[in-house]
Amino acid sequence: MGKRIGLTAFAVILVFLVSGGISIPSAQSITWAELPLLEWERNILQAFDRNNYDKVIDTAQNQANDPNNNAFLFIYYGHAQKYYLERNRDSAVYYKQQYHITLNRLSGANLPVLTRLIAMPQTSWNKKINNKFLDAAFEKAATMEYLGSILFYLQSSNPDVAKGAIGGLQAILQQKRNIVMNGGTLSNSDRGWMSDNRLLQLLVQKAGETSSPATGFLSKIPAFARKKVLGGAPACLALIEDPALPMLRQAATMGNASAAAVIQLIQDARGARLAKYPNSTWYSATGP
């Protein structure tokens, strides 16, 4: 009951902040959206959903228009299903021999198809490989080209997809952090999307949902180990740094242990930055 009340109060605070209680720059021209599916991709997903795996494989093998490079993914999952459901020997060989090749070919362009395939109930038996494929695709997607897609999947109701998106976002934020820590300044566009209220609200919520037992004694853990202990959304907030503090401080006043722990991570990050560049800000090594 106490936890439910705390989350309700926390939600009220977030609404207050987003509605104007705290002024933070808005995002600039970053659309939270996945890449659109092509017509043949939609059709083949329907065939897959109907368990017509022979049609899936045949259609993908004969697909000439494949700019997103999804044919190989459909073929692999088609054989995976035939191996599991039909005990087809040829498909069993394909499933095992093509695993690493398929894994290494994945990219951000595969996410619209991959996220749908792994969400289908008939592929749930393949969860270990599903998650490895998701992690690999989001890792390859960790560029500005796919930022909008990553932000879109960050909102996914599928916990595995959302987790993969957090990993991709963390990698992009680390790239931005490296610019500052190497003496540079972030662009206005980067400053905008990184300090966007919508993003900060989502990350603070996710940090609260993934509360770790370690949050209660985080101050006793050495600074270099704290980020590894929490990871995920807290690590993303620490890489963003100062723009996240208003929401987190308000949450901490309500006794939210996760918020207090993330503030500690941000203080660690600020301390490391200021030790190297005394006049710096979160977005620039040379100051405002």
- Domain of residue 101 covers 39-145
Query: Do 22 and 74 share a domain, yes or no?
Result: no
Q: What are phi and psi for residue 185, nearest 5 degrees? A: -130, 135
pLDDT at 93: 98
CA atoms of 83 and 98, how far apart (whole Å): 13
Q: Both 176 and 256 in a single domain?
A: yes
Q: Tell me which residue of 181, 187, 212, 199 sits closest to 243, measured CA to CA.
A: 199
DSSP class per residue in 66-122: -TT--HHHHHHHHHHHHHHHH--HHHHHHHHHTHHHHHHH--GGGHHHHHHHHHSGG
Domain's final residue, options 113, 145, 177: 145
Q: Give pLDDT, residue 35.
A: 96
Residue 48 lies in a domain: yes
pLDDT at 128: 97
Query: So what's the pLDDT on residue 261?
Result: 86
**Residue 8 located in a structural domain:** yes
Question: Would 34 be classed as within a structural domain?
Answer: no
Instruction: Please check whether residues 173 and 269 belong to one and the same domain.
Output: yes
pTM: 0.86
Is the alpha carbon torsion for 17, 19, 20, 26 positive or negative? positive
Identify the CA nearest to 70 among candidates 28, 36, 112.
Answer: 112
Residues 15 and 53 in one domain: no
Give the pLDDT confidence score for residue 26 in this predicted structure. 44
Q: How many domains does the chain fold into?
A: 2
Residue 158: inside a domain: no
d(CA 199, CA 190): 13
Per-residue pLDDT tens digits of the chain, which is 288 residues long = 444 444 444 444 444 444 333 333 344 478 999 999 999 999 999 999 999 999 999 999 999 999 999 999 999 999 999 999 999 999 999 999 999 999 999 999 999 999 999 999 999 999 999 999 999 999 999 999 999 999 999 999 999 999 999 999 999 999 999 999 999 999 999 999 999 999 999 999 898 876 555 555 455 566 655 555 667 999 999 999 999 999 999 888 877 778 888 998 999 999 999 999 999 999 999 988
Tokens 């301390």 belong to residue: 271
- What is residue 286's three-state secondary structure? coil
Say what the pLDDT of residue 214 is: 54
* Structure confidence at residue 288 (pLDDT): 84
